[in-house]
């Protein structure tokens, strides 16, 4: 047999080697982002790639689910981290158990997820993120959104926008209409999956007045500038007041990047307030996102309000290349 390649010579599906040209660009982007985080007072931490499985079990189904499990030499089950927010919650509750909040951390770490076939998804990808622990409500959210915009500016993106919503909007509204918990969760699942046709059908089966059912769907489809925060149903006033305050606290350049989006529902279940996602015409998928998770640290015994985000560095790189090509993939009709 010749020295022909056997299947074992390839990297596993969903993984790849990074060669020098790409590596230089990725390093440059990462370094610019890291500098922004550090300058904003977020100290860089590194948590282990391997964690105890029960660290991620604390959240039940609400958190990112580990896809890779290994046994150590004592038979304990370890997992490859599927996100960094949970390890930082653990770190804050153990290593900073008696420190005076607020705590500010940033990280550049690879996370490990399962992939769906033929989507160019990665089993291992680099996240750049921050966590702000101990600052609640609009103040903390606005600070982190400011850092996010500075990081994207430093990375070199010109045309990005930030979608901003609130995880409590739809639950609050459905509760206000007296929808049962089971029905409510079923509708929220449809909205999270982006199936507005299914959500519409379920809402119209609730037996509400037609105007009320239409209102629920209209809210889910509402996105735009700060003007959409006005004239909404009273049940939403508290959440919308929070978004309005957040908007008012931002620097004008960052505020101009916002798209308010009442239909924005993040996949992870631990968000308790503001949620956001980063969009750029250079990439067909969000570049990253985050939000408030005021109850996560409590499950590690250190109750503190918290907010954070993570950027997918490879997607930021692809979006940059897309912007440079001058022919964005999204909306590129000509």
Partner 1 sequence: MSALRIAVPRGALFGPTLDLLDAIGIDTTEVRRNDRRLLFEDSGIVTMRPSDVPTYVEAGAADIGITGKDVLMEQSERELYELLDLGFGRCRMVLASVAGPDRAAEALRRLGVVRIATKYPKVASAHLLATGRQAEIVEVKGSVELAPLTGLVDAIVDLTATGTTLRENGLEVREEIAVCTARLIVNPVALRLRAPEIDALMERLGAV
| Sole binder of partner 1 in the list 154, 208, 235, 259 (CB under 8 A) | 259
**Position 324 contacts partner 1 (CB under 8 A):** no
Nearer to partner 1, 87 or 281 (CB): 281
> Cβ closer to partner 1: 54 or 201?
201
CA 63 vs. chain centroid, Å, equals 12
Rounded CA-CA distance 275/145 in Å is 10
Q: Which is nearer to partner 1, 6 or 267 (CB)?
A: 267
To the nearest whole angstrom, how small is the minimum distance from the Cβ of residue 201 to partner 1? 8
HEC profile for 222-274? CEECHHHHCCCCHHHHHHHHHHHHHHHHCCHHHHCCEEEECCCCCCCCCCCCE
Which of 163, 288, 290, 308 lies at the binding interface for partner 1 (CB under 8 A)? 163
Alpha-carbon span 256 to 163, nearest angstrom: 11
CB of 321 to partner 1, least distance (A): 14
Question: 210-220 and 169-176 are packed helices; what angle lies between their axes, rounded to 10 degrees?
Answer: 170
Q: Report phi then psi at 42, rounded to 5.
A: -95, 110
Q: How far is the CB of 195 from partner 1 (least distance, A)?
A: 5
Instruction: Map 270-321 to HEC letters.
Output: CCCCEEEEEECCCCCCCCEEEEECCCCHHHHCCCCCEEEEEEEHHHHHHHHH
By C-beta, is 59 or 162 nearer to partner 1?
162
Phi then psi for 177, rounded to 5 degrees? -90, 5
- The reply to whether 333 sits near partner 1 by the rule CB under 8 A is yes
Is 331 a binding residue for partner 1 by CB under 8 A? The answer is: yes
Choose between 57 and 221: whose C-beta lies nearer to partner 1: 221
- Site mask, partner 1, residues 32-71, x = CB under 8 A? ----------------------------------------
CB of 284 to partner 1, least distance (A): 2
CB of 50 to partner 1, least distance (A): 28
CA separation, residue 211 to residues 218, 224, 235, 312 (Å): 10, 22, 16, 41
The HSE-up count of residue 286 (CA atoms within 13 Å, CB side) is 16
Question: Hey, which residues does 307 pair with through a beta bridge?
Answer: 132, 292
- Give the nearer residue to partner 1 in terms of CB position, either 87 or 163: 163
Based on CB atoms, which residue is closest to partner 1, 25 or 121?
Answer: 121
Binders of partner 1 in range 260-319 (CB under 8 A): 261, 277, 279-281, 283-286
Q: Which of residues 180-239 bind partner 1 (CB under 8 A)?
A: 194-198, 200, 221, 223-224
91-120: contacts with partner 1 (CB under 8 A) = 116, 119
CB of 328 to partner 1, least distance (A): 9
For the chain, give the number of residues.
Answer: 334
Q: Note the residues at the interface with partner 1 (CB under 8 A).
A: 116, 119, 161, 163, 194-198, 200, 221, 223-224, 259, 261, 277, 279-281, 283-286, 329-334
């Amino acid at each position: 047999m010749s020295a022909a390649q056997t299947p074992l010579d390839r990297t596993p599906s969903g993984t790849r080697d990074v060669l020098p040209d790409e590596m230089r660009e990725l390093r440059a982007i990462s370094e610019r982002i890291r500098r922004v985080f550090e300058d904003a007072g977020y100290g860089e931490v590194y948590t282990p790639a391997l964690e105890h499985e029960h660290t991620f079990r604390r959240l039940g189904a609400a958190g990112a689910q580990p896809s890779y499990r290994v046994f150590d030499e004592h038979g304990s089950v370890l997992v490859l981290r599927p996100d960094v927010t949970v390890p930082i919650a653990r770190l804050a509750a153990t290593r900073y158990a008696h420190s005076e909040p607020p705590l500010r951390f940033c990280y550049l770490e690879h996370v490990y997820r399962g992939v769906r076939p033929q989507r160019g998804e990665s089993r291992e990808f680099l996240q750049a993120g921050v966590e702000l622990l101990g600052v609640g409500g609009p103040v903390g959210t606005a600070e982190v959104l400011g850092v996010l915009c500075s990081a994207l500016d430093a990375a070199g993106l010109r045309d990005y926008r930030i979608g901003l919503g609130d995880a409590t909007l739809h639950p609050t509204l459905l509760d206000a209409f007296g929808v049962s918990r089971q029905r409510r969760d079923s509708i929220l699942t449809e909205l999270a999956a982006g199936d507005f046709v299914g959500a519409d059908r379920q809402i119209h089966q609730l037996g509400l007045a037609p105007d009320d059912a239409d209102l629920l769907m209209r809210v889910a489809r509402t996105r735009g500038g700060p003007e959409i925060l006005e004239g909404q149903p009273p049940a939403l006033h508290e959440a919308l007041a929070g978004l309005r305050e957040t908007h008012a606290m931002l620097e004008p350049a960052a505020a101009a990047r916002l798209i308010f989006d009442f239909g924005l529902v993040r996949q992870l279940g631990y968000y308790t307030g503001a949620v956001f996602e980063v969009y750029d015409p250079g990439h067909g998928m969000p570049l990253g996102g985050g939000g408030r998770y005021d109850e996560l640290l409590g499950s590690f015994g250190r109750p503190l309000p918290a907010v954070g985000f993570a950027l997918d560095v490879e997607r930021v790189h692809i979006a940059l290349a897309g912007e440079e090509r001058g022919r964005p993939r999204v909306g590129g009709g000509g």
